[in-house]
Structure 1
């Protein structure tokens, strides 16, 4: 199967590193014009350089905007212009005991992980439906189904994303716009690698080896018995954004390595 997104413009939020950057590169290699987003201009410029090096000749630009506020989303929408593909990837995570998670932290996670996608979809979906074609993809997580006891506030936002994605798919029924969510499991993203760094140093092993140990101990139901690479998750994102995925909408597409112990999606 050859995915060709020539003539399409894709906006990937939170795409200066990790799954977001890998998705941006994958979309660019498929021919899409890609807009990279992050909070700081330096990080955005660096990510654009990396993406151009990975996809020579691609049309890749960047917009710095903090999507934890309505004002930041408005700035991004104004700068991005006409968008055919929206990948709601931006998000934060981090383990924290439930009793220590205050209201401000709950609100911060909700605003960035959930409301950024709500606001961007509300702003960009109308033009997609007018054109009769569009793709919206939300990055959820296996933590949406297996709520981590040490990250309840994070798992909650990823469950909310599943509801949002399914509801928007129904809302856009028959318009030619599809809406799906992608559920990664443990993945060698920048944030996860930072989390594994102390473990690796303590045991005198590589981060990759620490990742395998983490999966086997913390996610023993994993079938692949290792974290995924960011490109492996990005492959699913690119497919969900493709013309070939026209009959896939309202789906929760798992790239969790089999962590969720279920025979149905």
Structure 2
């Protein structure tokens, strides 16, 4: 399975359930409730939605890379982004874990905020070197301990084929879901993740002004059709003008 996901997992000490406040913190105050669904249906929504559920003492947010991209790829070292600062105001003593991955380029990244301070950040992909700040966390160390170093890079032996090695980006699922387990207590890419993936109800929120990909496609096709008609009409007009002037003489 090719995984595409981006999650913000917030320790929910006070049983917080005000989704509107969460949306405000994420800069999505205009978003409105759309429908209920499972994480399996919204882990990669691809519709610029925000999906919020509650599991094992945590708030789980599937954000379609909208917030996590800023928190990870565009991060300024361990400085908090605007959205992270807003979340910290809502949850000042909670641990906030952000994870994201995309199998097309073996990209994975994650960060950990504790008591309002970002303690850890790492991102890597198949075409980019590893970038990391802060001390490695326990969940990472458990994976790195199985590796060996060659040419200043980490490699992992393939149990099925001792002659083959895995590079760090190829362990995308191990790192992404291993770090997520720090908060949710289960591995999403294993059978113990079925409960969260298939049974927990999430609420989808979308911008009322946002059109779907299908609607955008229809608009594009209509626009292309009218451009085509416009060109044909223009050619006919020019032809009529030429007939009355150039060819008549």
- TM-score where L is the length of structure 1: 0.25
The structure in which a higher percent of residues are strand is 2
Structure possessing the higher relative contact order (Cα contacts under 8 Å, 6 or more residues apart): 2
Rg (Cα) greater in structure: 2
- TM-score where L is the length of structure 2: 0.26
